[in-house]
Chains A and B, each alone.
Chain A
Amino acid sequence: MSDTTPTLVSGEPQRPRNQLVATGFACAAIAMMMAGALGFYMARRHASGPHPGSDWLDGLAVPNPQFDYALLTLAASMVTAHWALWASRRRDTAHAWTAIATTILLGLGFINMVMYSLNRMGVEIGAGEYQNLAFATTGLALAVVVVGLLYLGLMGLRSLGGSVGQQGSTAFGSAVFFWDFAALVWTVTWYTVYVVK
């Protein structure tokens, strides 16, 4: 370094909330991705003619109770995720383990119920415009849920693996935040594709 330039002074170490901020950015990106897909869906639906009247659903019937139960399962998993976060902040390992395991089980149950609902509904890829659109939009929303589940599991294990402290708790908090967001993504998708249709 030359003599003419001032010397750098060491600053106070920061406590960055990198993961939370990055998760926020990722959520914004995913929200726009879903906006793109659902916007596409709605534009096609609008172009298909007045509703009701047109055969937009290709003769399929939406199994509402099954989708409703899936949504309730997802809502329950949000509660258990926050339970896990609460427990990890209190360093209550037993509660945290139980809550994370329950959340993951509920998440897997949700995915299973959605797959069952789609099977029951008879959605077949390549069989019609609505079915292709439903497959793509639902697939994207399910992918977000799967990513949320993996993120939650990974951060949960990290949190319980010793790095609970302030930073570990923030990291797990980011995963819980993402899980809440994934639930929101599913809710909007479900409402658009299976309720409003």
Chain B
Amino acid sequence: MSENTTASTSPGVPVEDPTPFGWLTTADHKRTGRLFIVCSLLFLVLGAVLDLLVRLDLTSATEFVTLGSDSFAQGFAFSREALTLLFLIPAFLGISMYMVPLQIGASNLAFPRAATASFWTWKISAVVLIGAYLGNGGPYGGWANGVDLHLLALSGLVVALLMGAISVATTIMTMRSPGLYMDQTPPFTWSSLVSASMLVVSLPVLLGQIAILYVDHRYGRVFLLGNYGVWERIDWIHRTPQLFIYVVPVLGVAAEIVLATARRRVFEPLAMYFTIGLVGLFGFGAWTNFGITGEGADIIDGFEGVVLVALYGGALLGTVGLLGLLGLAVIQNRKLPKISTPLLAAFGAGKLVLVGALVGLIGSAVDWLEIAGRGNDGNPQLRMTTWVTGQQSVLIYGAGLLGLLAAIHWWAPKIWGRQLNELVGLLNFLAIATGALLAFAGPTLSGLFTEQPDFVYADPATTALYAGWVDDSGAEGFSALGAAGVVILITGAGLLLLNLFISVGLKKGLQADDDPWGAQSPEWMLPSPPPMGETDELPMLTSGTPLLDSTESEEVTA
């Protein structure tokens, strides 16, 4: 169905302008969603390449291999910022912007122009951020005005993401179809609400901190060590448990795909909502750890240890509960579901969230027990080693990218009207899963066996030239393993972009009908893709699985 012709025949709906100006001023949630998805994928490649360079630097204990002593810290900081603020959060925000209104029977987002403004603010801020780094203005950078610019760009990114999150959350709260109660919404919509709400109450903390950092850095550098005091205050947004908030939508995607493939409802919907909510809830509170105090990421006393163990334990419990419920749904179906790229990626992503929570729990429990048992013996805690880098890798690359692969393959018919190539998709899954596991295993093992430090705030160059921290050179091999994983991951991300280009851009993908997967949630009742501008009549929904309801009633009648 042609988007423009449909839009022009839809009464009472503004016709979308197909020119670039139309993309700039669009009030269509589908366009904004697409912009977020595609741009965040491009930023993923950029962030992953910088991460690769950082990891290559760590493959030698005696010299900087790639970035050099001046640029290492900035490369490290940029890769973290790009992978979270430029990739993980906006990618799932984009999918939420596209899918949520379709899943709840709303004609659009609650504030479509605010959503568009959020995209362009995010995009411009991202460009400014990159510009600041290029001018040697990131944290630890030598260009003072550039460091200020970096802080302003970070503020812009946070404000943009908050605008988008508020738009999505408000849509879910107020624009559900009459009769579709909150406990009947599809799992992805629920996970979007949890994630957006938790973003709204966690990311602004960074704004408050940036205001103080900016004032002190720009005027006098009285107490925060200038450019050396920036990163340790803002690093919490790239670490666990905050990362769990970013991967909550992954759990929604996994639930959506597994249940639809198994053609079952979850056995206890409230339990499913509860488990997803639990992961989001226990992701909250990272900012209290060292963002405020500036005392470093290590556990300083028993109380902090207990809190962290509880946070990771809660996230683990939520993930285990959800995966258990999904497993039950598959077992209830009594036949194996058809294997496909989205299903494999969804299962993989869910399990890697579990691994992320488990690694966090083990790390914090070991550190806590060490503190409780004999105090800090001077050796770096596990949470201060590359153990943390491994955890970040498994959550961002593993859960995040696999979850995104699942979501894009699953909803490509609804977003672009075409199915992505399944064979390339399977290769893609293998590449991303293998790459993520290697990128996780390398630093995790290095942290465990060689105590290689994750990052030294006061003297970042020490991180790269870590010879003084380790007794043997095992860390070099582990770093090389992690770097190899990132290379495979970048290949996987490239494959995904290539698949999108060939299947969608060149229109080589199969043209999709309304419900190519035989799925059950409301968006599959609409044409693929839904017309731009959409209908101005709200669909009446009384269930989050209308297609399954319909099939079942037909079977009963027959």
Contact = CB atoms under 8 A, between A and B. Distances in A.
Interface string A127-151: 1110011011101100000000000
Contacts of A136: 211-212, 214-216
B177 A36 contact: no
B177 A11 contact: yes
B206 A5 contact: no
A29 to B, nearest CB: 4
B25 interface: no
Contacts of B162: 29
Interface stretch (B304-312, B464-472, B493-501, B534-542): B534-542
A90 interface: no
A17 B175 CA distance: 9
B514 A2 contact: yes
Interface residues of A, number: 46
Contacts of A1: 514, 525-527
Contacts of A61: none
A11 B222 contact: no
Contact of B539 (A11, A28, A38, A41): A11
A146 to B, nearest CB: 14
Contacts of B208: 32-40, 140
Interface stretch (A18-26, A75-83, A102-110, A154-162): A18-26
B331 to A, nearest CB: 28
B105 interface: yes
B143 interface: no
A53 interface: no
Contact of A43 (B201, B207, B293): B293
A79 B156 CA distance: 34
Contacts of A30: 204
Interface string A95-139: 000000000000000000000000000000111110011011101
A14 B175 contact: yes
B539 A10 contact: yes
Given A1-B527, A6-B546, A11-B541, A125 B219 contact: yes
Q: Which of B105, B170, B197 has the most CB of A within 10 A?
A: B170
Contacts of A129: 222-223
Contact of A36 (B110, B206, B537, B547): B206
Contact of B211 (A2, A13, A140): A140
B207 A33 contact: yes
A22 B110 contact: yes
Interface string B288-308: 100111100000000000000
Chain B contact residues: helix, strand, loop or mixed: helix
Interface string A64-93: 000000000000000000000000000000
B124 interface: no
A196 interface: no
Given A2-B515, A125-B219, A132-B220, A37 B212 contact: yes
Given A18-B175, A125-B215, A43 B292 contact: yes
Nearest to A37: B208
Contacts of B197: 25
Given A1-B514, A11-B539, A36-B204, A16 B110 contact: yes
Nearest to A22: B170
Contacts of A2: 513-515
Nearest to A44: B223
Interface string B168-194: 011001110111000000000000000
B547 A10 contact: no
A132 B216 contact: yes
A29 B540 CA distance: 32
Contact of B205 (A9, A33, A43): A33
Report the 8 A-B pairs with minimum CB-CB distance, sorted nearest first: A36-B208, A126-B220, A37-B208, A36-B205, A126-B219, A11-B540, A8-B539, A33-B204
Interface of A: 1-2, 4-6, 8-14, 16-18, 21-22, 25-26, 28-30, 32-41, 43-44, 125-129, 132-133, 135-137, 139-140
28 contacts: A2-B514, A5-B524, A8-B526, A9-B540, A10-B540, A11-B177, A11-B178, A11-B537, A11-B539, A11-B541, A13-B538, A14-B174, A16-B175, A18-B110, A25-B165, A25-B169, A25-B197, A32-B204, A36-B209, A36-B292, A39-B205, A39-B288, A40-B208, A40-B212, A40-B292, A43-B293, A129-B222, A135-B219
